[in-house]
Amino acid sequence: MQFTYNDGGRADAGFKGKTGDCGCRAAAIAAQRPYKEVYDLINELAKSERTGKRKRKVSNARTGVYPETFKKVMAHYGFEWVPTMHIGQGCTVHLRENELPKGRIVCNVSGHYTAVIDGVLNDTYDCTRDGSRCVYGYFIKRGTDAAKQDDSKQRAEFVRKHVASLLKVAFDSVDDVFYRKEPQTLDEFITTRYFDGRVVTFIVTRDPLPVIAYKALQNVIRTTDCGGGGVK
């Protein structure tokens, strides 16, 4: 991944010295907002944070931002969170150009936030670890073509990796299961293809991923009950 030095406007805003401002910096770069504006927003939102035995401090634009507050910052600028790592799944996305969507995004990696613009890392140092660093998720601008395409890609990948693989193992009648989205109507469909030639399609528009998996399973069970093959 190509790297370009970018402090998000920190020096131009009059700030000096080293600091742990990665959240503020990344948000300013991705959202194309003045560094001081983002700095003040973080510290203002931090005033509503609660502390306790496990959390003794609140977010600070200079020293670090807690995840929930950072999500509020990014939502303020119209960004939505896209998780890329799920329980039991392991790392599937790394800080590599070919594994991230185009556009202006902020990636969450271990202990760090970093901005990536059209596949180019924008930060004060190269944090990619030669492409091995795992991305837990990223923030992407809502309503952009990149966001829409990535959502479809994520859902298709979920169906391919989890739904299709499970159903093909559990039912000897299932040949394949795949997702598609109509570009004009934005309707979403799951299609199950059986070895006997039958093809069954049902709609899953805007359904959460667990609901998609449940519907796919129930569809195969109903078809199997009607004489379409057995459970392995």
Q: Looking at 118, 142, 166, which one is the last position of a domain?
A: 142
Tell me: do 30 and 49 sit in the same domain: yes
Tell me: do 137 and 155 sit in the same domain: no
As a whole number of angstroms, the longest Cα–Cα distance in the chain is 73
> Which structure tokens are listed for 37?
């504006």
Q: How much is the pLDDT for 231?
A: 47
Q: Are strands 3-5 and 120-123 parallel, antiparallel or unpaired?
A: parallel
- Per the structure, the complete domain to which residue 79 belongs is given by 3-142
Nearest to 60 by CA among 42, 37, 34: 42
Tell me: do 48 and 138 sit in the same domain: yes
Q: How much is the pLDDT for 150?
A: 66
Q: How much is the pLDDT for 227?
A: 52
In a domain, residue 190? The reply is yes
Q: How much is the pLDDT for 114?
A: 98
Tell me: do 180 and 125 sit in the same domain: no
Q: Looking at 109, 142, 175, which one is the last position of a domain?
A: 142
114, 117, 121 from 2: Cα distances, Å: 13, 10, 6
Q: How much is the pLDDT for 62?
A: 95
38, 79, 153, 199, 202 from 213: Cα distances, Å: 39, 27, 16, 17, 12
Q: How much is the pLDDT for 217?
A: 94
In a domain, residue 33? The reply is yes
pLDDT per residue as tens, the chain (232 positions): 999 999 999 999 999 998 999 999 999 999 999 999 999 999 999 999 998 888 889 999 999 999 999 999 999 999 999 888 877 778 889 999 989 988 999 999 999 999 999 999 999 999 999 999 999 999 998 766 666 666 788 889 999 999 999 999 999 999 999 999 887 777 889 999 999 999 999 999 878 888 899 999 999 998 876 554 554 4
Tell me: do 61 and 155 sit in the same domain: no
Q: Looking at 142, 159, 183, which one is the last position of a domain?
A: 142
Q: How much is the pLDDT for 229?
A: 52
Count of domains observed in the chain = 2
In a domain, residue 230? The reply is no
Q: In the 8-state DSSP scheme, what is residue 134?
A: B
